[in-house]
Amino acid sequence: MNAHLVRIDGAVKISVNGKIIEPYGFMTYNADGGQFQKQRDIGTKLFFFGAYSGDKGLNSLCGLRALTPHFFVAKGTYDFTEIERILTLIAPDGTGAYIIPRVYLSTSEWWEEENPDALSRDDRGEAGRESFASDKWREDMWGALKALIDFVNGSKWKECVIGYHIAAGSTEEWTYHGHKYGTRDYFDYSDSCLNSFRLWLFRRYGSVEKLNVAWNKSYSSFEEIPIPSVPERRCAYNGVLHDLSREMNVVDFCEYSSDLFAESILFFCRKVKEYSNNTLLTGAFYGYVAMLSDIDKNHYAMGKVIDSPYIDFLSTTHGGGAPWPFGSAVDSCRLRGKLFISEGDIRTCLTRTLDKTLPHAVPDNRYYTRQSVWRGPEGMDRSVSELRRSASRTLTGNTGLWWFDMFGGWFDSPEMMSVIERVHTLAKGRSDQPIKPEIAYIIDENGLKYFRRNERALYYVSNHQRVELSLCGAPYHLYLAEDIARDDFPADDYRLYFFVHMCRPSEKVSEAIEKKLKKGGKTLLWTYFSCLDRPLLTDFDVYYDSDLPDARCEYSEREFPTFSSVYEFTRSSGTDAYPPEPLPCARFGSGEKENSYVLATLESTGEAALLWKNMGDYHSVYSLLPAIPNQILRELCLMSNVHVYNVTGDALMAGGKYIALRTLTEGEKRIHFPFPIKKVTEVFSGKELKINDIFIDFDAKEHETFLFEIEV
């Protein structure tokens, strides 16, 4: 068996012994609910399931117990009875399915008792679970994973298992476990992590003398260097931003921690690749750069992971908000020929709590039995719309998807199974033509390390801004900032560049922006604390003083001009994009207001908050605030010659030959195309729509999802 990735019509797919497999599959924690057979009956070929090395639950904070029996039962002893049972449920005769076990490399009580030095520690010395810096943990877990591979290779499922999803940490998503002390925890202060940090510093600086210059310290050797204390990691001398003359140790530790997680993931992926002679796929949950705002989640070395030849796919759950935007830089994966598989974590009207489906795993608290946490939408129509929304996001985004029936039975209706079955056919027709987004959402994954930990405004950047962008009526792609410097980055495909977390971009990225983007009429939109010390890059003089008052913003129609177009614009009186409480922000230098168009002001002082500047061959726009509402973004698109498909404030998804609309309001909707269309079909109903020149009109209810296939 030989599995690898291939790129076809702009989409990354799986090839197994020369046969192309669409990366659309199914995953459940409840193997006994009959879901695997139901999925096989509708044509699902790709399956994921949980394989657990340890005897503990997926997280510590909520007390979840083990979902299934574990296989690493004692030192050098493995029991694969449960693995065999689940494989039998998926593929009884060892054929007809392609399987990727999600292997959770977690510890057991017996292992922790034998290896206390391999555990993570908080700043008080309290033990958590495994330390990702521990060589002992890595080697023992590789031994367990290798034993699992050997078991599969000696079984009738050898040709079915095409790869391994490497999972670890809380909820399998490569973050540290907390424990009974909850959010007070700061990891990892173990000796393993300390020694690993010192080695990382040696590799970076080469000598303690060079480190002392960078840190403004006076250490005599690397052995004296501690992990930054909790107050150092929690606070910043300069209010929001770390002072590099005094806090470079914190900045470096943040970068080291993400590097450590990336290194741990790639350790296991490299082992699998080498052991299988490069015939198995490898992947992990990682790269939540578009949805997490806490630097201590350590997901900010995504570029290093996907640049590696040892990994094939990354996964995240869908992001938040009604549009369900992607939570990662999915187009960075595709640019490198890697696969992104989105986890369709979708609650429905059939969702039941864990105590009803897997009662043995219910913790000693109410978290997994609370209807307020796990309740899905009311009614079958709304549930079907949720599945269509997930499918639409991935079909238009040219990614993979697994339907995550978490506790079992969530999709058990003919209406929902029909959606899943239809998507198998639709996935085969994906391409990157003719609809191509003209907005590039650029995330600098190195930017968060410069902010104080858990700065609330960053939550709005990470969670609200992509939602508002999804409501502006124009599709977008998501990239890492470092991609701009790549020779194969399609710089001229985009008219509007939206920069996020660009606090201090690297010289390489800055040079690429100057060379590739500042031309051709492009618009560069800089947001929230971008490049305070690089006015030549942003073309704006911006400064921050922690003594400045926090700000509220007022987006004024009087200050924002209305442009003639085929649309009639309306504005709501408010927006969810900007939070109700004041937040810290920078300010424009004197004279910037006079040299720019003022698009928004601070409510409290009347100072400029959003400025547009014409630079001749390109335009530069700067927003002091953490999120821009969709109404303003829509007009920025028009000013940037970005085609706007829809103006009703609904969630638009478009790419290739598919365009989708998730409605937030009831009423008449219009989709306006940038080129002549021969035929438009709503794929779930099969209804062909009447084309009025270059647009279609249709009526919709609230919370409906329409997916249109176009022919040009």
Specify the CATH number for the domain of residue 542: 3.40.50.880
**pLDDT value at residue 62:** 81
pLDDT in tens, 114-136: 999 999 999 999 899 999 999 99
Per-residue pLDDT band at 686 (split at 50, 70, 90): very high
Residue 434: asked if its preceding bond is cis (omega within 30°), the reply is yes
Given pLDDT bands bounded at 50, 70 and 90, which one contains residue 571?
Answer: very low
CB 539 within 8 A of CB 513: no
Among the three residues 606, 623, 639, which one is the final residue of a domain in this structure? Answer: 639
pLDDT at 557: 56
Q: Is 37 exposed, middle or buried (0-12, 13-18, 19+ CB in 10 A)?
A: exposed
Which SS3 state, helix, strand or coil, does residue 282 take?
Answer: strand
| Segment 302-332, tens digit of pLDDT | 999 999 999 999 999 986 667 889 999 999 9
540 within 8 A of 624, measured Cβ to Cβ: no
pLDDT over 50 (residue 554): yes
What the block records as the tokens of 371 is: 């209807």
| C-alpha closest to that of 87 among 96, 75, 78 | 96
Whether 340 and 315 have beta carbons less than 8 Å apart is answered as yes
Are 462 and 607 members of one domain?
yes
Domain of residue 680, residue span: 663-711
- Total count of domains within the chain: 3
CA distance 425 to 421: 7
Residues 579 and 682 in one domain: no
343-366 pLDDT, tens digit per residue, is 998 999 999 888 889 999 988 778
Q: Residue 684 falls within a domain, yes or no?
A: yes
Q: Which positions ≥6 away from 676 have C-beta within 8 Å?
A: 694, 712
| Rg of the chain on CA atoms, in Å | 25
Structure tokens at 492: 């001229």
Residues 136 and 106 in one domain: yes
pLDDT at 181 over 70: no
Are 165 and 128 found together in one domain?
yes
Question: Which secondary-structure segment (H or E) carries 305?
Answer: helix 302-306
Which tokens sit at 417? 């199974």
CA distance 521 to 525: 13
Residues 398 and 462 occupy one common structural domain: no
Do 594 and 510 reside in the same domain of the chain? yes
pLDDT band at 33 (very low <50, low <70, confident <90, very high): confident
List C-alpha distances in Å: 612 to 179, 349, 465, 494, 563: 48, 46, 19, 18, 15
Say whether pLDDT at 575 is over 60.
Answer: no
In a domain, 654, yes or no: no
Residue carrying the six token digits 């310290």: 217
Q: How far apart are CA 380 and CA 497, in angstroms?
A: 39
Within a domain: 450: yes
Judged against a pLDDT cut of 80, whether residue 558 lies above it is answered with no
Beta bridge partners of 52: 104
- Indicate left, alpha or beta for 18 from its phi (over 0: left) and psi (-120 to 50: alpha): left
CA 510 – CA 271 distance, rounded (Å):
36
Is it true that the peptide bond before 188 is cis, omega within 30 degrees of 0?
A: yes
Amino acid present at 688? E
Tell me the C-alpha distance between 478 and 399, whole Å.
12
Q: Tell me if 250 sits within 8 A of 233, measured CB to CB.
A: yes
The residue type found at 464 is H
Q: The tokens of 188 are what?
A: 């990892």
Task: Report the distance separating Cα 329 and Cα 481, nearest Å.
Answer: 10
- Same domain as 597, residue 506: yes
| pLDDT confidence of residue 602 | 87
What mean pLDDT, rounded, does the chain reach? Answer: 92
Which one-letter DSSP state was computed for residue 239?
Answer: T
Cβ neighbour number for residue 573 with a 10 Å cutoff: 4
Write out pLDDT tens, residues 213-237.
Answer: 999 999 999 999 999 999 999 999 9
* Residue 439 binned pLDDT confidence (cut-offs 50, 70, 90): very high
Residues paired with residue 681 on neighbouring β-strands, in sequence order = 688, 709
pLDDT band, very low/low/confident/very high, at 572 (cuts 50, 70, 90)? very low
pLDDT value for 375 = 81
Domain edge (last residue) among 427, 452, 486: 427
92, part of any domain: yes
The verdict on residue 565 lying in a domain is yes
Nearest to 651 by CA among 403, 325, 342: 325
Instruction: For 581-640, write each residue's pLDDT tens digit.
Output: 788 999 999 999 888 998 888 887 888 999 999 999 999 999 998 889 888 899 899 999
Cα-Cα-Cα-Cα torsion 659, 694, 690, 705, nearest 10 degrees, comes to 20
Does 386 share its domain with 450?
A: no
The answer to whether residues 697 and 565 belong to one domain is: no
Residue 283 lies in a domain: no
Question: Does residue 302 form part of some domain?
Answer: no
126/315 Cα distance (integer angstroms): 31
The pLDDT value given to residue 566: 34
CA distance 390 to 388: 5
Helix residue ranges per DSSP H, 480-548: 507-512, 535-538
- Residue 195 has a pLDDT of 98
Query: How far is 510 from 484, CA to CA, in rounded Å?
Result: 9
How far is Cα 692 from Cα 171, in angstroms, rounded to an integer? 49
Sequence-ordered list of residues with C-beta below 8 angstroms from that of 449, at least 6 positions apart, any chain: 242, 251, 254, 255, 295, 300
pLDDT computed for residue 565 by the predictor:
35
Domain end residue (candidates: 364, 392, 427): 427
Indicate the range of 101-110, 129-138, 175-184, 253-262 predicted with least confidence: 175-184
Q: What are the backbone dihedrals phi and psi of residue 103, each rounded to the nearest 5 degrees, phi first?
A: -95, 115
Would you say residue 63 lies in a domain?
yes
Confidence of residue 179 (pLDDT cuts 50, 70, 90): low
pLDDT in tens, 62-95: 888 999 999 999 999 999 999 999 999 999 999 9
Look up residue 239 and give its amino acid.
G
The pLDDT score that the predictor gives to residue 163 is 98
Q: String of b and e for 311-335 (b: at least 16 CB within 10 Å)?
A: bbbbbbbbbebbbbbbbbbbbbbbb
What CA–CA distance (Å, rounded) separates 444 from 463? 15
Whole-angstrom distance, CA of residue 121 vs CA of residue 189 = 5
Q: Exposed e or buried b for every residue in 522-556, given b needs 16+ CB within 10 A?
A: bbbbbbbbbbbeeeebbbbebebeeeeeebbbebe
Residues 631 and 567 in one domain: yes
Q: How far apart are CA 663 and CA 657, in angstroms?
A: 20
667, 585: one domain? no
Cβ neighbours of residue 200 closer than 8 Å, sequence gap 6 or more: 256, 259, 260
Query: If DSSP codes are grouped into helix, strand and coil, which group holds residue 564?
Result: coil
Give CA–CA dist 49/35, Å, rounded: 12
Whether pLDDT at 188 is above 70:
yes
Give 51's strand partners: 103
Q: How far apart are CA 211 and CA 701, in angstroms?
A: 61
In this structure, the answer to whether residues 456 and 557 fall within a common structural domain is: yes
Tokens 């109903």, residue?
685
- Nearest to residue 593, comparing CAs of 619, 611, 615, 614? 611
Give the closest residue to 531 by CA, choosing from 443, 447, 595. 447
Binning pLDDT at 50, 70 and 90, where does residue 502 land? very high
Report CA 335 to chain centroid distance, whole Å.
Answer: 16
